Structure 1
């Protein structure tokens, strides 16, 4: 394998590199996704105009989820009245990433006006009026946290900024890039998210810094983050640590242990059994195929689970 091919397939692409700018009282993370996006997106054969928002959303999900302390599932969901009705992605604390989209092909073609790709600033055109929701689920014995904001702004990063402003969270800056590249006759996705967040004075060890200096430091961090180009963020030959040093060299970024992600769905026959068991048997008619089997398809990974009448007898007998 050539050095170039190794760069494209490196595990470092499916990971987050946390970092801290002690001189500015700022922490951050650089997320890069590659092979996991290929596995999730390409199996669905989404149009480019749907695939790119999904790639960006999965990258945003990873950046936000890894900025929190939780043990469970972080879910990002976008719903609207536009051509793309629904987009869902989630990440577990052990790094299992997945996502899918629902869209109207006819409305999408009209919205794009003959173009194949989503334009920059696509949120209003593709999603219309809707909302962005973040959910943290840590299990049945804990209270779920959910944050919901309207879709405001041309990009997903702008929508996330709206959430941080309205929820009175710490000042946060996010930049996202995603593109599909042709290589070896196949399409490959690369996406990246760069996120910076102002730290509380106590955590940053900067209690003696006056508010004006603190604001100047924050503004500098955002300007430096925004200076990252799409080419740099998606360059397979530019390691993440080197990119951070290039952007924040005067601030001497301190990096921490990398966390890896993998495309992995949580669906299973046992889970589908429980879903069917929660329904009345006479309600399953719409799920039967031409052979009479009940077929359930996972939206995330497209795996199909088939049940004949004997299987259904077993499921409902166990519920008695």
Structure 2
């Protein structure tokens, strides 16, 4: 709402998705702001700054896109590439739990940092050729939805805009920023959507002038403002769009709870051939498996491993 209808909450808030509506035009939007959740995801992986920054952008973008969908399960945003960064994954559960993982060539990243610095300006330099994939998984009894788009530079957000335009016939405006601050890693992102008319198969009657105006207002937001903990989500949205009236809706809280567990690790071990499991074992016969998302180690003693493999063999006979 505009300030005349209801006072804006100026209390800073983090780790949320805040939906809103520009009332005069009907343009929908979302603002994601990440504080401790993003810092937890990036710090526990002990990543070089430019790698952490790109993964942080993917986590923020995944939160934006995942929050626009109606699903009961897991939304995954994944990048596959042939550059210094090989794989990036961000996923979000329908309850708002976020995770992130990146696989990269450490030597290639070190070389790139010497050549272009620590602030990624063009994803082509870091990712090379590749694609971005979108997956919604609602469990065994539901069909998985998947979309895919080639990477478009110079920012990850450009690939997301291209996906909206080509696959969903939606015009989208996106801003994203990730910064390491004295308090830790912070991220912010804004999404504006110009939705198609389901009856006409075309965009709504929002005029080009109104759409351009909304994009201009959004672009007036600086990257520093996007991640600033002293500005509440509602305050920032009001600051950008109050001239056209803005209504905010109930926000969704986000957290960084990983879904890994010892039970899942045991299931993975059971799914592997015994000779492959033995190849993974240490000299003392134990096995340690690490969660790629949260870096938690799961250790199986030789006795536990033998008992598990014996139980697996018995169940297969």
Q: TM-score, normalised by structure 1?
A: 0.89
Instruction: Tell whether 2:301 aligns with 1:308.
Output: yes
* Deviation, structure 1 residue 318: 3.9
What residue is the counterpart of 1:131 in the other structure? 131
* Deviation, structure 1 residue 219: 1.9
Supply the distance in 1 between the matched residues of 2:178 and 2:64 (Cα, whole angstroms): 14
Instruction: Tell whether 2:205 aligns with 1:217.
Output: no
* Deviation, structure 1 residue 313: 3.2
Q: Secondary structure at the match of 2:293?
A: coil
| CA offset digits 1:105-126 (Å, max 9, x no partner) | 11112223256513323x1011
What residue is the counterpart of 2:72 in the other structure? 71
Supply the distance in 1 between the matched residues of 2:173 and 2:204 (Cα, whole angstroms): 21
Supply the distance in 1 between the matched residues of 2:139 and 2:76 (Cα, whole angstroms): 13
> Contact 2:195 / 2:204 at 8 angstroms: preserved in 1?
no
Instruction: Tell whether 2:179 aligns with 1:179.
Output: yes
What residue is the counterpart of 1:291 in the other structure? 284
> Contact 1:73 / 1:136 at 8 angstroms: preserved in 2?
yes
Supply the distance in 2 between the matched residues of 1:68 and 1:249 (Cα, whole angstroms): 26
Instruction: Tell whether 2:243 aligns with 1:250.
Output: yes
Supply the distance in 2 between the matched residues of 1:102 and 1:224 (Cα, whole angstroms): 36
Q: Secondary structure at the match of 1:113?
A: helix
Supply the distance in 2 between the matched residues of 1:24 and 1:128 (Cα, whole angstroms): 39
* Deviation, structure 1 residue 202: 7.6
* Deviation, structure 1 residue 178: 0.6
Larger mean Cα displacement after TM superposition, 250-259 or 222-231: 222-231
> Contact 1:50 / 1:118 at 8 angstroms: preserved in 2?
no
| CA offset digits 1:122-171 (Å, max 9, x no partner) | x1011000111111000011111111111111101111111112203321
* Shift in alpha-carbon separation, 1:253–1:133, aligned structure 2, 3 A: same
* Deviation, structure 1 residue 210: 8.5
Number of residue pairs matched? Answer: 300
1:1-320 to structure 2, matched below 5 A, reads: 12-114=13-115, 117-121=118-122, 123-183=123-183, 188-201=184-197, 211=205, 214-319=207-312, 320=315
Q: Secondary structure at the match of 2:234?
A: helix
* Deviation, structure 1 residue 63: 0.4
* Deviation, structure 1 residue 42: 0.8
Q: Tell me how large the CA RMSD over aligned residues is.
A: 2.0
Q: TM-score, normalised by structure 2?
A: 0.89
> Contact 2:54 / 2:120 at 8 angstroms: preserved in 1?
no
Q: Which runs of 5+ in 2 are unaligned?
A: 1-10
| CA offset digits 1:204-223 (Å, max 9, x no partner) | xxxxx995x52222222122
> Contact 1:47 / 1:116 at 8 angstroms: preserved in 2?
no
> Contact 2:32 / 2:64 at 8 angstroms: preserved in 1?
yes
Supply the distance in 1 between the matched residues of 2:19 and 2:234 (Cα, whole angstroms): 10
Supply the distance in 2 between the matched residues of 1:210 and 1:312 (Cα, whole angstroms): 60
> Contact 1:25 / 1:199 at 8 angstroms: preserved in 2?
no
> Contact 1:25 / 1:217 at 8 angstroms: preserved in 2?
no
What residue is the counterpart of 2:7 in the other structure? none
